[in-house]
Amino acid sequence: MRILISNDDGYLAPGINALAEALQPIADIVVVAPDSNRSGASNSLTLDRPLSVQQAANGFYFVNGTPTDCVHVALTGMLPELPDLVVSGINNGPNMGDDTLYSGTVAAATEGYLFGIPAIAFSQGSYGWTHVDAAARVAREIVERYLDALESPYLLNVNIPCLPYEQLGPLTPTRLGRRHQAEPVIRAQDPRGREIFWIGPPGACKDAGEGTDFHAVSSGRVSVTPLQIDLTHKTQLATLAKALA
């Protein structure tokens, strides 16, 4: 099996290193990841300048672009053969509920999915890389299942609690929860006295009930959410058709 690995925290992040180490014994892996932390990049492509691909001493390729750039370049010209699977992460911190729209980790997987390749995004339930080795072991177990039961391509969003492997609950199918709106921007001044703004933290959970990704992870279980990309509000189509008639 050939696996393309990317992330949004950059090619030097502990999470991508743990993921590559865990998958290397079971697959032919190629790592193509951003040269710096591009968390929050969502599905952005770099269109105003060319991209360079360089190889680090450990064999990882790094790109001066976004997670989506990395997977796009890898799939559309850089790799001699297409991978069987695209995996992304392991992200530093959760990508649950509304986070999935902003996440570069999910976006890297999404780019594989859009090219018809099964893809899985992996994130840790909180920040700081605690027990990232346990998360990598879970990632490998999920990849080893290779999920033949799912229609291909599939796009899975996995969030793993930061717990020792032995304390992790089972893989749990979930839906996305919802967050409240994000916290306000943080207003400050730059050294020249000009006003600047830092984007604030995400909002607290609004829908974290039974069945959601938030609920599974807060209960110590591994959340696995199948995603789709069609944003059409299907139940509103008929109402809109009437309104526009």
Residues that bind Mn ion (CB under 5 A): 8-9, 39, 91
**What residue number has its CB nearest to Mn ion?**
39
Q: Which is nearer to Mn ion, 7 or 225 (CB)?
A: 7
Q: Indicate the residue among 67 and 83 with the shorter CB distance to Mn ion.
A: 67
| Nearest distance from C-beta of residue 207 to Mn ion, angstroms | 23
- C-beta of 9: minimal distance to Mn ion in Å? 4
Is beta strand 28-34 parallel, antiparallel or unpaired with respect to 195-198?
Answer: unpaired
For Mn ion, the closer CB: 15 or 177: 15
Residue 91 CB, nearest distance to Mn ion (Å)?
5
- Judged by beta carbon, residue 39 or residue 212, the one nearer Mn ion is 39
In the complex with Mn ion, the residue whose CB is nearer, 66 or 91, is 91
* Closest separation in Å from C-beta 190 to Mn ion: 25
SS (H, E, C) the chain: CEEEEECCCCCCCHHHHHHHHHHHHHCEEEEEEECCCCCCCCCCCCCCCCCCEEECCCCCEEECCCHHHHHHHHHHHHCCCCCCEEEEEEECCCCCCCHHHHCHHHHHHHHHHHCCCCEEEEEECCCCCCCHHHHHHHHHHHHHHCCCCCCCCCEEEEEECCCCHHHCCCEEECECCEECCCCCCEEEECCCCCEEEECCCCCCEEECCCCEHHHHHHCCCEEEEECCCCCCCHHHHHHHHHHHC
- Measured in degrees and rounded to the nearest 5, phi and psi for residue 27 equal -160, 165
Q: How far is the CB of 37 from Mn ion (least distance, A)?
A: 7
Cβ proximity to Mn ion, 9 vs 213, nearer residue: 9
**To the nearest whole angstrom, how small is the minimum distance from the Cβ of residue 244 to Mn ion?**
40
